[in-house]
Amino acid sequence: MQKLQSFKARTGEPLGAPLMACTPEQVDAAAEAAAQAFVSWSASNGATRAALLRGLAAALESDREDLVALADEETALGPVRLNGELDRTAFQLRRFADIAERGVPFAFTDDPAVPGAPPVGHPAMVRQRVPLGPVAMFSASNFPFAFSVLGGDTASALAAGCPVVVKAHSGHLVLSNRVAGLIPRVLKSQGLPAGLISMIQGSGTDVGVRLIRHPAIAAGAFTGSTRGGAALQAEANGRPRPIPFYGELGSTNPVVALPAILATKGAELAATLAGSIAQGCGQFCTSPGVIVLIDSPQDKATNDAFVQQLTTALSAQNPHAMLTPGMRQAFDAGVVHMTAAGAHPLVKEAGNAEAPRPFLAQVNAVSFIAKSALREELFGPSSLIVRAESVAEALDVLQAVGGSLTVTLWGAETESNDTRALARGAMNIAGRVLFAGVPTGVAVTAAQQHGGPWPSSTQPMTTSVGDAALDRFLRPVCLQDAPAWLLARQGQPC
């Protein structure tokens, strides 16, 4: 049986005793237990779902001190960030509890019968939604609470009436086991089946692929690399009965800064942007990886000044250690790869064994559009400045980026042909368009959209953050001429 070892992010030393990878039989058992739990959980009411979600939130908070200390050892994200993330995770659980209790998963459309022949006349119809079934949830590396065992995917799936089988991330295995250990007590106290929430661990090939292939699994939810997500999506699509796969993948999150705002607020925006690039050692899915400047002849000096301000501000940043040695190696290799592709370094200092230094480079728009290597996400504290000669060329840069979770437009407060074109171009490629601030930081709200065209996500019409995340795990059903007993359930599946 394969042994798994967790490590301290800052030193690379082993953390805790080796853990055992799940066997194929254990993976199958988790999926089958989830299928058994689905029978009762899919028919549960909003109050029952809400009680579970609130119980899980309380369990997390009751173990806060030890959980945060353990997470800090495994991720080096720091207690301030990790306490905030635990707060967010508890908030998400309680928010989806409120959503379930309000009856949102059971909302239905009543379309009474209309006498007469079609197309005007029609039978009585009710359109409601039913849960998809057990969900395979793949934890993310960079949010060990909020996108992990009891994160947003788990919360939204449970609120929708779907059991969850969590695939733990190798970057925080000890923490994942600690969090998973809280769950059975909550389930038992509420008289719920143990298979409703379970966790498996092991390599993606041996465990993750087997899970997504299991016939009891009805959907997949993933946050991670484009390569990993694409591989799992292919598995989901290649099953005898394909299933939906909701993957949040790579994103470069362009920031387009118009010269007028840089002329008046350049130093302030440079400091803000530098902090965003280095925040969390750049290990955010919304880290600003591309900065587009528009170099009309009269504005080049303004842009040059901003580049110098950003270079100075980013040089002063001191990122902490990356989540895993593998991520650090990939970051260092990516810097070399991008430089070889023609990016001119502005900030490129050698990091130490513990933490990398920020990387900032510059390239013209023609090269950026022509060379795919310059458009690849560099996961870490880095950004690439792209100098465009016109708004039209800046739009070509956005089009070359393809899909992105976010695009930020600075200086578009006044309507004009240019700002309309930029807003339209941004909306064409991104799930969220910001007109102030920076893209790091994703609020859990009713209007949030965390997903965009490929490669930022596999399903651009869905979100993995916010209230609408619930919709991923519900399927519409039309009931025609339904009997009174079924209609009396008011949208709650039977």
| Model confidence pLDDT, tens digit, residues 277-333 | 999 999 999 999 999 999 988 999 999 999 999 999 999 999 999 999 999 999 999
pLDDT exceeds 80 at position 351? no
Contacts of 253 (CB under 8 A, 6+ apart): 286, 287, 288, 289, 290, 404, 405, 406, 407, 408, 439
Specify whether the CB–CB gap between 136 and 167 falls below 8 A: yes
pLDDT exceeds 70 at position 1? no
Average pLDDT estimate for 54-65 = 98
Specify whether the CB–CB gap between 450 and 431 falls below 8 A: yes
pLDDT exceeds 90 at position 472? yes
pLDDT exceeds 90 at position 203? no
Instruction: Look over the chain and give the mean of its residue pLDDT values, rounded to a whole number.
Output: 96
Per-residue pLDDT at 348: 82
Per-residue pLDDT at 349: 80
∠ CA 247-249-290, rounded to 5°? 150
DSSP string of 100-120, one letter each residue:
HHTTGGG--EEE--B-SSTTT
User: Dmax over Cα atoms in the chain, in whole Å?
Assistant: 78
Average pLDDT estimate for 443-458 = 97
- Positive or negative, the CA dihedral 365, 370, 372, 373 is negative
CA distances from 45 to 84, 99, 261, 491, 493 (A): 31, 12, 52, 10, 9
pLDDT tier, 353 (very low <50, low <70, confident <90, very high otherwise): confident
Is 24 exposed, middle or buried (CB count within 10 Å of its CB: 0-12, 13-18, 19+)? exposed
∠ CA 449-454-460, rounded to 5°? 35
The number of angstroms, rounded, from the C-alpha of 333 to the middle of its chain's C-alpha atoms is 24
Other residues' Cβ atoms within 10 Å of the Cβ of residue 55: 20
Active site residue 285: yes
Six-digit token string for 413: 């407060």
Catalytic residue (choose from 85, 101, 235, 248): 248
Specify whether the CB–CB gap between 105 and 40 falls below 8 A: no
Average pLDDT estimate for 240-268 = 97
pLDDT tier, 247 (very low <50, low <70, confident <90, very high otherwise): very high
- Positive or negative, the CA dihedral 183, 464, 382, 86 is negative
Other residues' Cβ atoms within 10 Å of the Cβ of residue 134: 31
Average pLDDT estimate for 100-104 = 98
Q: What gap in Å lies between CA 463 and CA 470, rounded to an integer?
A: 9
DSSP reduced 3-state for 64: helix
Per-residue pLDDT at 259: 96
Per-residue pLDDT at 381: 95
Catalytic residue (choose from 22, 162, 281, 285): 285
DSSP reduced 3-state for 445: coil
Per-residue pLDDT at 451: 97
DSSP string of 287-348, one letter each residue:
---EEEEE--GGGHHHHHHHHHHHHHHHHT------SSHHHHHHHHHHHHHHHHTT-EEEEE
Per-residue pLDDT at 477: 98
> 32-41, 59-68, 115-124, 347-356: which has the minimum mean pLDDT?
347-356
Task: Enumerate the β-bridge partners of residue 430.
Answer: 404
Q: In the 8-state DSSP scheme, what is residue 122? A: B
> How many residues appear in the chain?
494
Instruction: Spell out the domains of the chain, with CATH numbers in brackets.
Output: 3-249+457-487 (3.40.605.10), 255-434 (3.40.309.10)
CA distances from 95 to 9, 49, 61, 98, 266 (A): 32, 12, 15, 5, 38
| Model pLDDT for residues 125-155, shown as the tens digit of each residue | 999 999 999 999 999 999 999 999 999 999 9
Per-residue pLDDT at 350: 75
Active site residue 65: no
